[in-house]
Amino acid sequence: MKDVAELAGVSVSTVSRVLSGRIPVEKTTAERVQDAIASLNFRPNLLASGLRSKSGKLIGLVIPGLYEPFASIVGHLERYATRRGFSLLVGNSRALPHVEERFVNNLIQRHVDGIIFTPVSGETSAMGDLLDSDIPVVWFDRVCEDRRVLSVKLDNEKAGTMAARHFLEMGHRELAVVTGPEPVELVHSRLRGFVGEARSQGVEVRHTRIMEGDFSFESGVRLAQQFLSMPELPTAVWAQNDLMAIGLLKGFSAAGVDVPGSVSIIGMDGIPLTMMVHPELTTIRQPIQEMCKTVVSKVLEYRRYLENNQLNTVFEPELVVRGSVRSLI
């Protein structure tokens, strides 16, 4: 299909629209596409029955990884989609923009009924063809400036504020943060909330104590070792997801550093594993199940939400206090 698009001088989504016949295409454009199809002897076989039917009952999902909380998100989305008679087609972009774009174009070619998308960044190159396709799009935990794209997200800045506030209320002043990868927008929102709240209480988070991880357990272990190599250990570290927080806990414990005796830790997401470690992890919980239910509703009732101007749905985070933060007061 890409070859047809290049020969006709149009986008892949335009070729897809000509093939499906569901969305009108300018006559001269359609003729160029048909000529290219004939010239290349192209035989579309991706859809079989889907090209002839109004709906393939298929929702596409593109996410940046299969680590938590995305593994749980996939499960919840699949359950809610199934209840409404739809199947879920999942693409893991591994946070690589070119893989992300390939998955999106794949979903366009399959004429899915809607796409749930967690892009690596707000500047994703995949959006051009996606918006041209007229497929309903809902961003998960991101907000798109284009009003044709609905969104469901957490108040990530507030999550950072809550983590810093809890540390400060427990008497901590030597704060540190382990962030996710720099290109991810929510990383900046969470960091802004954390640093801003600390600053409002007269505490500066040193630049050397803001470390970048990749949302994996392994990066948490590695960054614990980096903290231990510093002349002075912070008394409190917020990790921007639970897997990195558990990695920090493992790394500190392996070096004989007591948590929370010497270092306090807060995680982010509220995954079940936080209750299976020792000490149990204090975390900022995302209402994942409720968010997933809303995402499926918005992608399948896209037109209603759009007409009612219900573009962005923002959920509140929740502080879950357990045993990984020590009081210094």
Q: What is the CATH number of the domain that holds 190?
A: 3.40.50.2300
d(CA 201, CA 167) in angstroms, rounded, equals: 11
pTM above 0.95, yes or no: no
- pLDDT above 80 (res 124): no
- pLDDT above 80 (res 20): no
Residue 113 inside a domain? The answer is no
Residue 209 sits at φ, ψ, to 5 deg, of: -105, 10
Q: Which residue has the higher pLDDT, 156 or 120?
A: 156
Mean residue pLDDT of the chain comes to 90
Residue 162 inside a domain? The answer is yes
Residue 250 inside a domain? The answer is yes
Strands 114-117 and 87-92: unpaired
Q: Say yes or no: 163 and 281 in one domain.
A: yes
Q: What does the pLDDT read at residue 51?
A: 45
Render pLDDT for 46-57 as a digit per residue (tens, 0 to 9): 444 444 345 579
Per the structure, how many domains does the chain have?
2
Q: Say yes or no: 162 and 283 in one domain.
A: yes
Domain finish residue from 250, 266, 287: 287
Range of the domain at 22: 1-54
Average pLDDT over residues 183-187: 83
d(CA 325, CA 235) in angstroms, rounded, equals: 10
How many secondary structure helices (H) and strands (E) does the chain include? 13, 12
d(CA 84, CA 162) in angstroms, rounded, equals: 36
Q: Say yes or no: 161 and 280 in one domain.
A: yes
Residue 244 inside a domain? The answer is yes
Percent of the chain with pLDDT over 70: 92
CA 248-154-106 angle, to 5 degrees, is: 95
Q: Which residues of 2-29 are buried (b: 16+ CB within 10 A; e: fewer)?
A: eebbebbebbbbbbbbbbbeeeebeeeb
Render pLDDT for 191-210 as a digit per residue (tens, 0 to 9): 999 999 999 999 999 999 99
Residue 253 inside a domain? The answer is yes
Residue 131 inside a domain? The answer is no
Q: Which residue has the higher pLDDT, 67 or 45?
A: 67
Q: Say yes or no: 50 and 164 in one domain.
A: no
Q: What is the CATH number of the domain that holds 24?
A: 1.10.260.40
Strands 175-179 and 318-320: unpaired
Residue 206 inside a domain? The answer is yes
Strand, helix or coil for residue 213? coil
pLDDT-derived band at 44, boundaries 50, 70, 90: low
Residue 328 inside a domain? The answer is no
